[in-house]
Structure 1
Amino acid sequence: MENQTVISEVLLVGFPGVPEDLHNLVAAVMFLVYLFSLTANGSVICLVTLNVCLHQPMYLVIANLAASNLLFDTVTLPKLIARYWFGSSLIIFKVCIFQMFCVHYLGSIDSFLLMLMAVDRYIAISQPLRYTLIITNKRALSTCFIFWLLAATSTNATIATQASQIVLCGPSPKMINTLFCTHASIMALACTDVTFIRSVSFVSAMVVLLVCLGIIVLSYILIIVEIATSYRSENWRKAFYTCTTHLLVVALYYAPRLFLYIVSSIFNTSVIIIKPEINALLLFLYSVVPHMANPVIYFLRTKEIRQTFAKVLQRVKYRVGHM
């Protein structure tokens, strides 16, 4: 058995197998990705916050989702950029645990908010006359606040506490063989039996993902039924068209995640044992890509946000022209 030792630092690998001569390119791409996400999500938050016309339940939820995405990228991408740009691969183990908590915490919030958006769309289509009475700004914000608290006080905190107490073996530093600290990557470093902790984490992730996804799917099944049975089919089709924005976001978020968990379940193995290159790529696809795509989808497919953004640009051009 390997010697047990107190390890204070771990080594962040990033994208496994990337040649050293491509590190600057990877760093530049990740920097542009972070800059784009920061600008796009920040713009959504500012537009919704500062424009009274966008103080509606759906847009308030979108602003919360943008805030979650922005925080996620801020917690993960700067260290990944530093790893490739400056060779700063070491990360303090306690910081790694904190990053892991934030990753799973913000991931849970995304699931909750996407579920809330699906319920909002169902009520808007099935109860159009009573929508403003059922879904108010106060209720939307209160529900978002509850979700932020629920994600923090759920099993995520317990799992992070348990992960911080595991015993690491062998020479220091140990390698986190992916883009950032996740529960699976940290559990792979343990030299003691972590089957229970791993099982609790997996069940917790599945409950959050599948319950939220189940409610999302149910909401859209009910929406389709409403459309099919409505006499005002043309109006309902227009209403359903607006839901495709949300469906695109859901697909980006859930498809790679479910693929990863299904494959790991079929082969009866942990996620981290899947080929590291594929694991890192899938992690990037379902963690970072949606955070860039979401604001673009909202801008392109949401008329009110496009109009607000156009007005802001006109004001900026006017002020610049009169300077």
Structure 2
Amino acid sequence: MEINNSITKDILQIQGFNISPQFTYPVALLLLFVYLLILVSNIGVVTLIVSEKSLHQPMYMLFCNLSVNDLIGNTVLLPRLMVDIVSTERLITYNQCVAQAFCSHTFGSASHLILIIMAFDRYVAICHPLRYGSLMTTRTVAWLSTAAWAVSVLLVSVLIGLTVRLSRCRALVQNAYCDNASLFKLSCDDVSVNNIYGLFFTVVLFSSSMFCITLTYFRIALACWMRKNKELNSKAMQTCASHLVLYLIMLWSGFLTIILHRFPDYPDLRKIAYILKVTPSF
């Protein structure tokens, strides 16, 4: 879609979901319920961990970090998505679109890095319980969490920076939200550099998280099998199952989003996959 004369170059139009008029408000109310549930659950977790001194431990610091990350990611996406569902124009400024893309990509990459830290924490707690107190100190977890956010912000800054340098010849964001791929598709310039760095970014992030989490869970499973300790196996199952399910949801929804960006015939499926990736706590 070429730029319409009625829309300035700094105003974009979001494609959004194609929802029948009779389902518009029910879907918006459903998303509102989901968003409120996510807010209440994550704020509750953060408040409980901060207020209860007995929970000021490395493992719970990581839970708190992940809850804050969930709050950021969902607040960036869901309120705007609800407004666009009930709106007929679905307009957004270019700067707002860039900010949404930056925050959503930072949330996604930081989530992967925090889950890697959580997997290492579970590995030390289960396989080396006597060394847990010396290895996973509060200072160590704080440093690792800060590093995860810093690396995420740095990588995403380069990703978005390569996109904002491009000129724009279109004004339609072919998605229900703003992300990097949707932004550089607004340009008629050569986007080879964007595709190469985007591929590099994705391969490094996904392969690192897959390798680290696979390795830690393999070591945990091996330790449980060799020791044949029912108490150890029960502890491993209780502490690792939810973490692994959450990671698998993020991983496959992330893969679907990346793959479906290359297949424009399935736009709604791509949008749903991205929303699943952004709302893992639900």
TM-score by length of 1: 0.81
Question: Secondary structure of 1:129's partner?
Answer: helix
One-letter code of the match for 2:20? P
Q: Which residue of 1 aligns with 2:117?
A: 116
- Two-structure CA RMSD over aligned residues (Å): 2.0
Contact 1:123 1:131 in 2 (8 A): yes
* CA distance, structure 1, for counterparts of residue 15 and residue 82 of structure 2: 12
Match of 2:12 among 5, 10, 13: 10
Q: Does residue 213 of structure 2 align to residue 216 of structure 1? A: yes
Gaps of 5+ in 2: none
1:30-57 residue CA offsets vs partner (Å, 9 max, x unmatched)? 1111111111111111111111111111
Q: How does 1:198-209 map to 2 (within 5 A)?
A: 198-209=195-206
Shift of residue 83, structure 1, vs aligned partner = 1.3
Question: Secondary structure of 1:291's partner?
Answer: coil
* CA distance, structure 1, for counterparts of residue 237 and residue 121 of structure 2: 15
Number of residue-to-residue matches in the alignment: 278
* CA distance, structure 2, for counterparts of residue 199 and residue 43 of structure 1: 41
Question: Secondary structure of 1:11's partner?
Answer: strand
Provide runs of 4+ in structure 1 moved above 6 Å.
none
Contact 1:184 1:272 in 2 (8 A): no
Shift of residue 256, structure 1, vs aligned partner = 2.0
* CA distance, structure 1, for counterparts of residue 67 and residue 248 of structure 2: 17
TM-score by length of 2: 0.92
Q: Which residue of 2 aligns with 1:62?
A: 63
Match of 2:188 among 186, 191, 196: 191
Match of 2:229 among 227, 230, 233: 233
One-letter code of the match for 1:146? A
One-letter code of the match for 1:135? M
Match of 1:180 among 177, 180, 191: 177
Contact 1:187 1:198 in 2 (8 A): no
Shift of residue 71, structure 1, vs aligned partner = 0.6
Shift of residue 282, structure 1, vs aligned partner = 1.1
Contact 2:49 2:64 in 1 (8 A): yes
* CA distance, structure 2, for counterparts of residue 117 and residue 88 of structure 1: 42
Question: Secondary structure of 2:129's partner?
Answer: coil
Q: 1:19 to 1:279 in 2, by over 3 A?
A: same
* CA distance, structure 1, for counterparts of residue 210 and residue 241 of structure 2: 16
Contact 1:184 1:271 in 2 (8 A): no
Q: Which residue of 1 aligns with 2:271?
A: 280
Question: Secondary structure of 1:130's partner?
Answer: helix
Structure (1 or 2) with the larger CA radius of gyration: 1
**% identical aligned pairs:** 25
Q: Does residue 163 of structure 2 align to residue 163 of structure 1? A: yes
Q: How does 1:74-153 map to 2 (within 5 A)?
A: 74-87=75-88, 89-153=90-154
One-letter code of the match for 2:21? E
* CA distance, structure 2, for counterparts of residue 24 and residue 13 of structure 1: 18
* CA distance, structure 2, for counterparts of residue 163 and residue 58 of structure 1: 37
Q: 1:118 to 1:32 in 2, by over 3 A?
A: same
Contact 1:94 1:164 in 2 (8 A): no
Contact 2:119 2:217 in 1 (8 A): yes
